[in-house]
A and B are shown apart, each in its own frame.
Chain A
Amino acid sequence: MDPTPFIGLSAILFTIGCIGVLVRRNAIVIFMCVELMLNASNLALVTFARVHGNLDGQVAAFFVMVVAAAEVVVGLAIIMTIFRTRRSASVDDASLLKY
């Protein structure tokens, strides 16, 4: 099997996610982009598992999914709370924790 297309797709997805995190202000969008990056790495992990013929990569992918799920729970809750108190979902508005 040739892993190159899979890795390529994974890299493209990761880059999109990364750029999204850096340039967007909306917390939800950033959040989605983070998810995109996680899934990009999942794709790479699964691909490598396939290449090496063992399950290590898949196990790692499962871990990432679980972590992502937990992150969604906590992260969305935080975003909701911030939105409720500040009437804004922009991350630049939530810059109180600074020097």
Chain B
Amino acid sequence: MTSSSASLFPRLAEEGGHAVPVIHQVPADGVFALLWVIIALPALGAAIILLGGGNRTKGFAHLLGCATVLGSFAISLVSFFALLGRDETDRSVGQFLWTWVDAGSFRADMALLYDPLSALFLLLITGVGSLIHLYSIGYMEHDERRARFFGYLNLFVAAMLMLVLSDNYLGVFLGWEGVGLASYLLIGFWQHKPSAAVAAKKAFVVNRVGDIGMALGTMLVFATFGTVAFAPVSEVAGEAPTATMTALGLLFLLAACGKSAQVPLQSWLLDAMEGPTPVSALIHAATMVTAGVYLVVRSNFIYDYTEVAQTAVVVVGTVTLLWGAIIGCAKDDIKKALAGSTMSQIGYMMLAAGLGPYGYAFAIFHLLTHGFFKANMFLGAGSVMHAMNDDVDMRHYGALQKAVPVTFLTFAMGYLAIIGFPGFSGFWSKDKIIEASFGESTLVGLCALVGAGITAFYMTRVMLMTFFGQKRWEEGVHPHESPKIMTVPLIVLAALSVLGGLLLFGDFVTDWLTPAVGAVAHHELAFAPWVFSLIVTVVVAVGVTIAWLTVGRNEVPRTAPQNVSFVTRAARADLYGDALNEELLMRPGDRFVTGLVGFDDKGVDGVVNGTGTAFAGMSGTFRKLQTGYVRSYALSVLSGAVLVVVALLAVNLT
């Protein structure tokens, strides 16, 4: 730092009417010196459980797993309040651990950046993570490999914390792939089921496609700025050419699409529901899948300088929010319906993140509330499955509100939150995004509005099919409420789903994030905010009503009807995303690989072996000259001699 000093933070580079914040880190002291412990605790837990082996750690693995995450949560909480007590200018704390990669002028540190953005993520990850860990003690009780499950969960938490705490892109990449690995291991946890193993592999490979963006983006950052750390890049980002910034924005968007299951890399998320339900709640709803949103928001100093990439983010978000919502409408598998909803909700977040400084805070706000209510609903779904002997088909549910009252009530809180019932957390967060998207463009705004209506429809459908109507249970199923260890996390999450909106009280969350993501004067809107809220609420009410009219009033058939409209069939087939992948990538790829293997065996190696065969054939021909008859040898000696003489004469006589 040459001219500026720490007290000038955030130095806001005035650019096109909004301010792009520059990260200036202050050294970690006091409680912040313990930042590394937040990551180290779950990492240590994972190491002990996984290296110790399943049998030796069986007795204490679940306790250790919960304790490490709770410990991290405690430190995160203390750090959060410590950060709250700081001046707004000092809220970016950097902790250097060690130099990770040092090659020529390339350098990446194991260094942590604790700022308002990562602080919120820490609370979400460790907080919701702790609850889900506790829940898993009950949920996985009868699984003989529960110890390993907790090892993987701890590994995930450590990697996710690395992702949001690293102060450079390479460190984010480390966490990025770490969560991918944990997700792979956990989706395939019941790997004796071929479907689980395939889903796990699919998730990893699709994510790898996204990683191309992450890798190339990190390289481009280095090639452009000579460093991969956020702080120095944020300082000079404005000086880079727009084309570079656009390329960076699009590359990181590709990465985000992979991790956050956005169109066109959305296909893995629904299959990922093969994993145990707590995994779906923690990884595939509350935390990991939102990493893409984190990346975009964290890279605000890149996106703020490129309209093209921002537009691309908005388009991806908008398409995905509708895509996921439509899929959610047609699924009978409760987890898949929720997964479609997750896609859709992350679409909302991406949409908000693509709006620039105006939307970043709302994206994060929705991310937090979604983390609460979606984790709540997934765990609720897990509790229902628990009651129904692990059946996931909602057509076999019905009238469960009496059988599992706690689950029903907590699930209902989550339901009201996600559809945006006034006063619940989802109302505040989604409303803000829809409002902001109308500021961007009317079309996007309308899409977001329609999405809200569809959300209301499919969630009401889930609600009605699961808890109301007639009993359609399988024979021999006797639903019972889950044990306390599972219901208490549900209750806490339900409370958070209801009260999460308080984060917006007094614009707390937007002000809090301003140092990290910048702020902007509010858009001029066509109507007053309350009008928007009213419109959204009306649309939601319409969605609920349609669901009531189609699902609630009628008998739900126990098997899915086949003579349905094209739209329903398409939605059941995930809008043909898998089919498209199969036709465009997998089959041609398969053929290409088979062809290439043949080419290698017959072509490349054929040339090699052909050369050998040619020489063998040649020698086979020539050796026939060795007849064994002395006189023929003598003749060849004579002809040789004559030849020599003739040659000599020819040379000498001319």
**From B629, B630, B638, contact of A18 by CB (8 A):** B638
A95→B635 contact, CB < 8 A: no
Q: Which of B623, B626, B631, B638 has the most chain A CB within a 10 Å cutoff?
A: B631
A95→B629 contact, CB < 8 A: yes
> Which A residues lie within 8 Å of B634 (CB)?
21-22
A26 to B416, CA, bound (A): 116
A92 to B632, CA, bound (A): 10
A95 to B631, CA, bound (A): 10
A91 to B631, CA, bound (A): 8
Check if A96 is an interface residue, CB within 8 A of chain B: yes
Q: Which of B65-109 contact A (CB under 8 A)?
A: none
A25 to B634, CA, bound (A): 12
Closest to A33 in B: B634
- How near does chain B come to A33, taking the closest CB pair, in angstroms? 10
**From B623, B629, B635, B638, contact of A91 by CB (8 A):** B629
> Which B residues lie within 8 Å of A18 (CB)?
638
A96 to B638, CA, bound (A): 22
With A18-B638, A22-B635, A22-B638 known to touch, is A91 a contact of B626 (CB < 8 Å)? no
A21 to B629, CA, bound (A): 12
Closest to B625 in A: A99
- How near does chain A come to B328, taking the closest CB pair, in angstroms? 80
Closest to B619 in A: A99
> Which A residues lie within 8 Å of B631 (CB)?
21-23, 25, 30, 91-92
B638→A97 contact, CB < 8 A: no
A98 to B628, CA, bound (A): 5
A99→B629 contact, CB < 8 A: no
> Which B residues lie within 8 Å of A21 (CB)?
631, 634
Q: Which of B630-654 contact A (CB under 8 A)?
A: 630-631, 634-635, 638
With A18-B638, A22-B635, A22-B638 known to touch, is A91 a contact of B630 (CB < 8 Å)? yes
A94 to B624, CA, bound (A): 17
Q: Which of A18-75 contact B (CB under 8 A)?
A: 18, 21-23, 25, 30
With A21-B631, A92-B631 known to touch, is A98 a contact of B638 (CB < 8 Å)? no
Check if B627 is an interface residue, CB within 8 A of chain A: yes
> Which B residues lie within 8 Å of A98 (CB)?
626-628
Q: Which of A83-99 contact B (CB under 8 A)?
A: 91-92, 94-99
> Which B residues lie within 8 Å of A25 (CB)?
631
**From A23, A30, A99, contact of B630 by CB (8 A):** A30
A97 to B147, CA, bound (A): 76
Q: Which of B623, B626, B629, B630 has the most chain A CB within a 10 Å cutoff?
A: B630
> Which B residues lie within 8 Å of A22 (CB)?
631, 634-635, 638
- How near does chain B come to A76, taking the closest CB pair, in angstroms? 16
**From B624, B629, B638, contact of A92 by CB (8 A):** B629
Mark interface residues in B37-62 (1 if CB within 8 Å of A CB, else 0). Answer: 00000000000000000000000000
Closest to B622 in A: A99
Given pairs A18-B638, A97-B628, 13 additional interface contacts (CB within 8 A): A21-B631, A22-B631, A22-B635, A22-B638, A25-B631, A30-B631, A92-B629, A94-B630, A95-B627, A95-B628, A95-B629, A99-B624, A99-B628
9 CB contacts below 8 A, A to B, read A21-B634, A22-B634, A22-B638, A25-B631, A92-B629, A94-B628, A95-B627, A98-B626, A98-B628
- In order of increasing CB-CB distance, the 8 nearest A-B pairs are A98-B628, A95-B628, A99-B623, A91-B630, A99-B626, A21-B634, A98-B626, A95-B629
